[in-house]
Each structure stands twice: as structure tokens, then as C-alpha cells.
Amino acid sequence: GAVVSQHPSWVICKSGTSVKIECRSLDFQATTMFWYRQFPKQSLMLMATSNEGSKATYEQGVEKDKFLINHASLTLSTLTVTSAHPEDSSFYICSAEAAGPGPKQYFGPGTRLTVT
């Protein structure tokens, strides 16, 4: 149980284009999902918190107009990187909070974005 999927697992795009990444909770409903980015050999940095049916809350320093987050249902959140640049190349990971005893976040497998 508590499986989170991401699609695509890797993507290469040209500078200036936009890329959408999907995050799905497969066997549970998640009112809250989180988006992280991770650079090589570094830890996870929270980008934003996404709540179903409401606007995402972005961490300080994260451009909300560049990283568009939509949480349209209890099982799906999307991250769109708009007008991507090479410095946006990173490993993007989502997590979903499962209900029930004790707060637990389950992570997706990540999406490797390379902007050329």
C-alpha cells in the first residue's frame, strides 16, 4: 500500500519550453502533496505544498510563476516548469501525505529533468 507514482521518470527538453510532471497516489487519497527538488549529492529541498482544491503554498525563494502547481483531485498533483532553463535541470520528487494513525509522507520515484 501507499504507492506514489510520477510521470515521466525522465524528460529532456529545450530551453524555453514548458514541462509538466504528474504525481499520483495510487492506492490512497492525499489531501496534501509536496514537491521537492534535489541536486546531485544534496538533500531534498521543499519547493511547495499542494492542497487539493486550493492554491499551492510556495517556499521562500521559489518562483510561483515558474513552477506552476495544480492539485485537481485527491490523487493527482502536477508541477509545470514554465520556460525552462538549464539551471532548472534537477531531480524533482513529489510526496503524498497518507491519512491514518501518524503522519507519513510517501515519496514518488522522482523525475529527472534535463534542459538543453
Partner 1 sequence: EDQVTQSPEALRLQEGESSSLNCSYTVSGLRGLFWYRQDPGKGPEFLFTLYSAGEEKEKERLKATLTKKESFLHITAPKPEDSATYLCAVQRKAAGNKLTFGGGTRVLVKP
64 touches partner 1 by CB under 8 A? no
Interatomic CA distance for residues 63 and 99, integer angstroms:
29
Q: Which residue's CB is nearer to partner 1, number 15 or number 47?
A: 47
Judged on CB neighbours under 10 Å (0-12, 13-18, 19+), 35 is buried
Among 46, 62, 68, 74, binds partner 1 (CB under 8 A): 46
- Rounded CA-CA distance 88/80 in Å is 12
Distance CA 34, CA 93 (A): 8
Residue closer to partner 1 by CB (options 88, 108) is 108
The answer to whether residue 108 forms part of the interface with partner 1 (CB under 8 A) is: yes
Residues 73-92 that bind partner 1 (CB under 8 A): 91
Q: How far apart are CA 14 and CA 57, in angstroms?
A: 28
Which residues of the shown chain bind partner 1 in the complex (CB under 8 A)? 2, 4, 6, 32, 34, 42-46, 49, 91, 93, 95, 97, 102-110, 112
